[in-house]
Amino acid sequence: MPLSIVRSDIIGMRTNAIVNAANNALQKGGGVCGAIFAAAGEAELQSACNKIGRCETGQAVITSGFALQSDFIIHTVGPVWRGGGHGERELLYACYKNALELARSYYCESIAFPLISSGIFGYPNDKALSVAVKAIGDFLRRNDMSVSLVIYGDTAFSLGGNLRSSLQAFIGSGDAKPLYEQISQSEFEALRDAAAPFMPPAETRSPGLFDISDLRSERQRAAFTSDGERPRVEEQRSSQRRLEDVVGNISETFSQMLMRLIDERNLTDASVWRRANVDKSVFSRIRSKKDYRASKITVLSFAIALELSLDETIDLLGRAGFALSPSSKQDLIVKYFISEGIYDIFQINETLFLYNQGLIGV
């Protein structure tokens, strides 16, 4: 479970280390800091902090976890929000980076963060979340560690400007598009073939009766450019290669297809499971068992890690017995990012969290 975003109380997290949103003097404060001191044992923790003396903004120091379930407490000092023009983002990013590097140097396999600087330090929640996800994601692309970002209570967020408007338009646009534009080529072919045996002959149908061949003609018309020319030769060849890949590997299981795609792209196993936001042990089970029964979120995470096209994603899902549902907001959000060519799983999961949807890969 490399990065999960949860609404919980950080005190109850069962991780090797938890992170304290500290002040420069490393004295007991309010909010998360006060709660950690109280749970760990105020006298013992304050004595340990006094021996360290001070922590500069953006830096991190470590103490024992004392009475906590965690072995360590990593203390980091976030920036006070002053409008965003005083290096706040860089300092906040450094908090996560330095805390993670410190945890790695102490051989921690798991760590839990609060949303640093989002409390009395005034950093806007949505901006603080974006920095946290970016910093943790950058670390996890190179390292293996289970990281929990713990959001306290009912902390509110908003999705930023252009992404929100374009995503909302994508989610809400399905009914406005003709069916042949909503579905992929492979979905269209399957729909046409399934419906064909049940359609009456054209000459016996009543006027206006829907015919799957109408979709075929629309699809064919859509295959031409606005000036009546066919697509470029390289586009036709690209489609042909994809079709040959599907037909040539018709009996592949999910696991077999995944491993083939990794080999074809000359990727390392580690780079794939990290980009997929899945644990190494999960990947090992998939590699060792050709009929591995993956969950849908696991399949989607590997589609993102491999930067698959929408058609390829649908194929990979099908190998595991799943499909993208037009009635699932989670599926539509993932489909939007794939359609836009955005394959950052941490950004996708941040968006899923903001829409109160389950994360993928975890």
**CA 288 remoteness from chain centre:** 25
**312, 290 contact by CB (below 8 A):** no
Among 108, 129, 158, the domain boundary falls at: 158
Instruction: Say yes or no: 262 and 153 in one domain.
Output: no
Instruction: Say yes or no: 136 and 254 in one domain.
Output: no
Q: In angstroms, rounded to a whole number, what is the distance separating the alpha carbons of residues 128 and 175? A: 35
Instruction: Say yes or no: 154 and 11 in one domain.
Output: yes
47 lies in some domain: yes
205 lies in some domain: no
**147, 136 contact by CB (below 8 A):** yes
Instruction: Say yes or no: 153 and 254 in one domain.
Output: no
Per-residue pLDDT at 193: 56
Q: In angstroms, rounded to a whole number, what is the distance separating the alpha carbons of residues 233 and 244? A: 16
318 lies in some domain: yes
229 lies in some domain: no
Q: In angstroms, rounded to a whole number, what is the distance separating the alpha carbons of residues 2 and 137? A: 9
Q: Is the dihedral of CA 112, 114, 117, 120 positive or negative?
A: negative
Per-residue pLDDT at 190: 57
186 lies in some domain: no
Instruction: Say yes or no: 150 and 21 in one domain.
Output: yes
Element (H, E) at 338: helix 329-339
Q: Looking at beta carbons, which pairs linking 54-57 to residues 24 or more positions away fall under 8 Å?
A: 54/24, 54/25, 54/26, 55/22, 55/24, 55/26, 56/24, 57/24, 57/91
Among 99, 126, 158, the domain boundary falls at: 158
Q: Strand 146-151 and strand 60-64: pairing? A: unpaired
Q: In angstroms, rounded to a whole number, what is the distance separating the alpha carbons of residues 187 and 243? A: 13
Domain residues for 114? 3-158
Q: Is the dihedral of CA 99, 100, 105, 106 positive or negative?
A: positive
Spans of the chain below 50 pLDDT: 175-180, 182-183, 205-213, 215-226, 228, 230, 232-237, 239-241
Instruction: Say yes or no: 143 and 290 in one domain.
Output: no
Instruction: Say yes or no: 254 and 153 in one domain.
Output: no
**56, 1 contact by CB (below 8 A):** no
Instruction: Say yes or no: 24 and 153 in one domain.
Output: yes
Tokens of 298: 């696991």
Instruction: Say yes or no: 23 and 134 in one domain.
Output: yes
Q: Which residues contact 33 (CB under 8 A, 6 or more apart)?
A: 20, 21, 22, 23
80 lies in some domain: yes
| Residue 7: CATH number of its domain | 3.40.220.10
Q: In angstroms, rounded to a whole number, what is the distance separating the alpha carbons of residues 80 and 200? A: 71
Q: How many domains does the chain have?
A: 2
Instruction: Say yes or no: 151 and 287 in one domain.
Output: no
**101, 145 contact by CB (below 8 A):** no
**Count of positions (residues) in the chain:** 362
Q: Please tell me the pTM assigned to this model.
A: 0.78
Among 142, 158, 174, the domain boundary falls at: 158
179 lies in some domain: no
56 lies in some domain: yes
3-state percent breakdown (helix, strand, coil) of the chain, nearest 5: 50, 10, 40
R_g of the chain, CA atoms, integer Å: 25
Residue 22 half-sphere exposure toward CB, CA atoms < 13 A? 32
